[in-house]
Amino acid sequence: MDSGLLNGGTSWKLPGCQLEASTYSGSELSIGQSSSKQKNKEVVDYDMEWQEKDSGKAMETSDPEDYGMMDEDDCMYDDYYDDGDCDGNDDDDDDLEYDVMDSVAYDQFLAAKFDSMDLPPGVEVTVPWLAPKEPEQTQPEMPISYRPKNEIEHVIERKFRAFKQFDTVPEFPDHHFLSKNCAGKKPSKDWVKRVQQDWKLLEKDLPDTIMVRACEDRIDLLRAAIVGPDGTPYHNGLFFFDIQFPSDYPHNPPKAHYHSGGLRLNPNLYQCGKVCLSLLNTWSGSGCEKWNSKTSTMLQVLVSIQALVLNEKPYFNEPGYASSANTPTGERNSLMYNENTFLLSCKTMLYSLRNPPKHFEDYVAGHFQEHGGIILRACKAYMEGVIVGSKIPDDEEEKEENPQEVVEDPKSKPPPPASYSFRTSDNFKATLAKLYEDLLMEFTVKGADTDKFLAEKRKDRQAASST
């Protein structure tokens, strides 16, 4: 063996010094050098004079075991092993100590290795077994019978319940009469006093189906939402009106504008928004039908629109048609008019859902969330031949218990006599079927109870695909 070189693929440990020399098959390693192939080996300093003194002398030994000769795997210095492991024994029990540890104990052991080290901030986060572990939190089990609503549906319902019948708002940026400040810069005290009286009357006596918002900065402006009465082709619909108190109020009646969405669903409500009503002096009338500065009020105007305009037979509101009431021709025409009116009312619902007036967004969403089911049931009934305008039961179970009976309420108007020869038109049914699909989608989004209608739709689709 050449001086200073150890060959043969063996590992030697010299007695009396902390030096390990390892050689590999087919390579040479000089004493005092370090091998880059073993990353975990420790490079140990030693006295170079020892090499000079013993240079040229071969290490002589009769038994390699006298110097601790053993396999290189048994005597490798490693960060995870103690010096006591290199005792020349073939017992590998100590080497398997960390294999039998569970994951938690092993992580704790590894972390303990770094307790005395000054690690840079943030290193613990990048090393999984150094980062602190958060305790697992168990979620409470939800009852199987509970069908939760999503968060949006809960918010819609909560805001709808909290919506006041009368309230004030800071401004009306989309009000029809915003640019027409009839009150002037300095309204009279009498004018202000009278408007405030109307406010108090509205706050106190509004019916449940009328909602009003008054403007704080412009007290001459109001906005009202009127729910279509039951038993009419307007049932469960929402109809919006912008109101303005003129500068000479109450000597002259308020001005009103209907949010038509480009639709005319009543002889008194024009596409341009004009409202024809004797109480507003926009139509002829006599006696109590006309505006009276001493007795007439804003509340009276809103109630009159709901009762006299959105009525059971709006066809006869048209001038000249009132004389045909209670005649076969007039009643048949009225029924046909109601069919078209209901179609326009459905379109108005979609328009309001997609373009709710300012400060009524919560009310529109909540109203149709609550009444979407009854509207859809009415659509189904009308498509099956039930007379439009008939009252539809609110209780779905009533229909299920008596499937053969007509869904009309006993107090609703009787079907027309046979002499009327009226049948629901196919065109009406086809148009309503399309509107029904749009309403079903919109009501479902708002959280209305549409499960049954969606199930029926899936069933019909499956039946159509199987044929």
**Contact yes or no for 387/416 (Cβ under 8 A):** yes
Name the helix (H) or strand (E) containing 21.
strand 20-22
- In 3D space, the residue among 226, 250, 247, 248 whose CA is nearest the CA of residue 237 turns out to be 226
Around 411, how many Cα atoms within 13 Å sit in the side-chain half-sphere? 4
Which residues does residue 222 pair with via DSSP β-bridges, in sequence order? 214, 243
**Contact yes or no for 279/301 (Cβ under 8 A):** yes
Exactly one of 75, 182, 215, 276 is catalytic; which is it?
Answer: 276
Around 390, how many Cα atoms within 13 Å sit in the side-chain half-sphere? 23
Give long-range contacts, CB 8 A cutoff, 24+ apart: 440-445.
Answer: 440/376, 442/349, 442/350, 442/353, 442/354, 442/368, 443/368, 443/369, 443/372, 443/373, 443/375, 443/376
Q: Is 17 a catalytic residue?
A: no
C-alpha angle with apex 301: 296 to 307, nearest 5 degrees?
A: 125
- Tallying the residues shown for the chain, one arrives at 467
Cα separation, 131 vs 195, in Å, equals 68
Cα separation, 309 vs 408, in Å, equals 23
Sheet holding 238-244, edge to edge: 166-169, 210-215, 221-227, 238-244, 255-258
- In 3D space, the residue among 82, 94, 367 whose CA is nearest the CA of residue 235 turns out to be 367
DSSP 340-361: HHHHHHHHHHHHHHHSPPTT-H
Contact residues for 63 (Cβ-Cβ < 8 A; gap 6+): none
- In 3D space, the residue among 388, 356, 350, 337 whose CA is nearest the CA of residue 237 turns out to be 350
**Contact yes or no for 415/339 (Cβ under 8 A):** no
**Contact yes or no for 389/341 (Cβ under 8 A):** no
Name the helix (H) or strand (E) containing 379.
helix 361-383
Q: Which residues are catalytic?
A: 276
